[in-house]
Amino acid sequence: MAADAAVAAVFEPVQTATTFEETVDRLGTAIRLGILAPGSRLPSERELAEQLAISRSTLRQAITALVESGHLTSVRGRSGGTFVDPEPPLAEGAAGPLPEDWRQVLDLRFAIETGVVALAAERAEDEPLAIMRDAVARMDAATEFDEYRRADIRFHIALAHATGVPRLVALTTEVQAEVSEVIAHIAHPPQVLRHSNADHERIIDALAAHDAARAMRALRLHLDGTEHILSGLMPAGA
């Protein structure tokens, strides 16, 4: 499943000199994207430190930072542990300055996802298509933007999963995190969200028909629409 591939990427060994910072980044991003679901329990400290290949003291520091930021909650006692906060922050950048390179973020997304959708149209099987359809239904039913955005992310990760290339799942997950940081700075009118979700349905139809040209056109319109909305709703001076 797409979710399983993304979770596996979250818990790969941390291989950097800045293990604390990367651990905070890795777990925080996974929480904001909904890969680690609200309310879910993290593995034990020993297991998690082994999976990430970091020391337990570094892990404790990272978890403390994520508790302080509202991403995680620590519960003491026999049934305690470390849990994803039921309402974690979706994007860290919401209250801060807009990333200066936000247009480059959209360019990167375009480069990755147009290649993804071409491969997905050739290779898509029933499972990722079912995940995408479920994500569309969740977006239709969403009453809050955070709900909508998490389902939106689920859709795009499933699209990458349909290629059968794990590295494309990881790249899509990374770029979706950056997109979340950008779109946190704009309003999200319901009409815009409905229009965007209709794009998702057209992408699924093209994938199901294994029509790469149609899938790429549908995705291009979807991404162009996102850029137009961002340009129109972006705060003054951005």
Task: Give the pLDDT of residue 223.
Answer: 92
Superfamily of domain 92-233: GntR ligand-binding domain-like (1.20.120.530)
pLDDT tens across 126-150, in order?
999 999 999 999 999 999 999 999 9
The residues spanned by each domain of the chain are 2-84, 92-233
Task: Give the pLDDT of residue 1.
Answer: 62
How far apart, in whole angstroms, are the C-alpha atoms of residue 94 and residue 201?
28
How many Å separate Cα 136 from the centre of its chain? 15
Closest among 130, 131, 136 to 199, alpha carbons compared: 136
pLDDT tens across 8-43, in order?
778 888 777 678 878 888 888 788 778 888 899 999
Task: Give the pLDDT of residue 16.
Answer: 73
Domain 2-84: state its class.
Answer: mainly alpha
Mean pLDDT of 171-187: 89
How far apart, in whole angstroms, are the C-alpha atoms of residue 4 and residue 212?
26
pLDDT tens across 85-103, in order?
988 866 544 555 667 788 8
Burial of 95 (0-12, 13-18, 19+ CB in 10 A): exposed
Rounded (5°) CA angle 208-3-30:
130
How far apart, in whole angstroms, are the C-alpha atoms of residue 44 and residue 63?
12
How far apart, in whole angstroms, are the C-alpha atoms of residue 165 and residue 223?
22
Task: Give the pLDDT of residue 93.
Answer: 46
Closest among 146, 161, 148 to 197, alpha carbons compared: 148
Q: 112 or 75, which is more confident?
A: 112
Judge contact between 176 and 153, C-beta under 8 A: yes
Judge contact between 116 and 159, C-beta under 8 A: yes
How many Å separate Cα 74 from the centre of its chain? 24
Burial of 54 (0-12, 13-18, 19+ CB in 10 A): buried
